[in-house]
Amino acid sequence: GAGVSQSPSNKVTEKGKDVELRCDPISGHTALYWYRQSLGQGLEFLIYFQGNSAPDKSGLPSDRFSAERTGGSVSTLTIQRTQQEDSAVYLCASSDGGFFVGGYTFGSGTRLTVV
Amino acid sequence: ELKVEQNPLFLSMQEGKNYTIYCNYSTTSDRLYWYRQDPGKSLESLFVLLSNGAVKQEGRLMASLDTKARLSTLHITAAVHDLSATYFCAVNLRMDSNYQLIWGAGTKLIIKP
């Protein structure tokens, strides 16, 4: 697609429920990144995909968080047994992963609220 | 480990004034990026700086890179309210054949009329 698409844009869930966040990167972008941003804070790195593999998943905060990418395209970030501290905006970005001059293109984010 | 530090983290200024945001990084890198984030919005790319001495300008914003000093600056000239946003710098880290950006904490800029 023309840009990075994230869905849903907003998600309100009850504590303890599982949620899935979706990211559809720019067509042809081989690298995909997930970040979390709490209100008024900077970017917290979660995980990075090159193709379908994740060379760096060091930022996942706990084993309740997992992510996958299929077909070198769409990625899903899953949070199990959500907690209130999981409330944040989850940002996805993609890049061409190769010569990488252009940097990242970000999606509009998913605002997750755990009540 | 590559670390990126921005300062100041918060800046409140009057319209018409000039100011500079600084971005220092700890190890050699060949590229530096500046992004802007408006409140409640995502990040959008402002500048890509690819070499020592690179200077890019867009309107009232000018970014420069000194790779020897490991320093980039984002200079704001005659600030206007519309420039109020959070500005992030990010430095390219290459690991094997993969690339990641390492991010500064962001500078929240408020420009008062």
Using the predicted structure, report yes or no on whether residue B41 has a pLDDT greater than 60. Answer: yes
| Residue for token pair 């061409």 | A96
- Contact (CB, 8 A) for A46 and A60: yes
Residues 6+ apart with CB under 8 A from A47: A33, A34, A54, A56, A57, A59, A60, A67, A77
A103 → closest Cβ in B95, B101, B108: B101
- Cβ-defined contact of B44 to A103 (cutoff 8 Å): no
φ and ψ at residue B11, rounded to 5 degrees:
-145, 120
Give pLDDT, residue A98.
61
**Shortest CA distance from A92: residue in chain B:** B42
Q: Which of B36, B48, B41 is nearest to B86 (CA)?
A: B36
- Contact (CB, 8 A) for B71 and B89: no
Percent of chain A with pLDDT over 90: 73
Using the predicted structure, report yes or no on whether residue B95 has a pLDDT greater than 80. Answer: no
Mind listing the pLDDT tens digit for each residue in B67-88?
Answer: 999 999 999 999 999 999 999 9
- Cβ-defined contact of B104 to A42 (cutoff 8 Å): yes
Using the predicted structure, report yes or no on whether residue B98 has a pLDDT greater than 80. Answer: no
User: With a CB-CB cutoff of 8 Å, which residues 75-94 of chain A face chain B?
Assistant: 91, 93
CA–CA gap between residue A79 and residue B102 (Å, rounded): 24
Q: Across the strands, what pairs with A19?
A: A79
Mutation target among A38, A45, A106 for the B interface, most CBs of B within 10 A: A106
Mind listing the pLDDT tens digit for each residue in A4-57?
Answer: 999 999 999 999 999 999 999 999 898 999 999 998 889 999 999 988 998 888
CA–CA gap between residue B43 and residue B33 (Å, rounded): 12
First-residue to last-residue Cα distance in chain A: 33
Using the predicted structure, report yes or no on whether residue A1 has a pLDDT greater than 70. Answer: no
3-state secondary structure of A11: strand
Percent of chain B with pLDDT over 70: 98
Percent of chain A with pLDDT over 70: 95
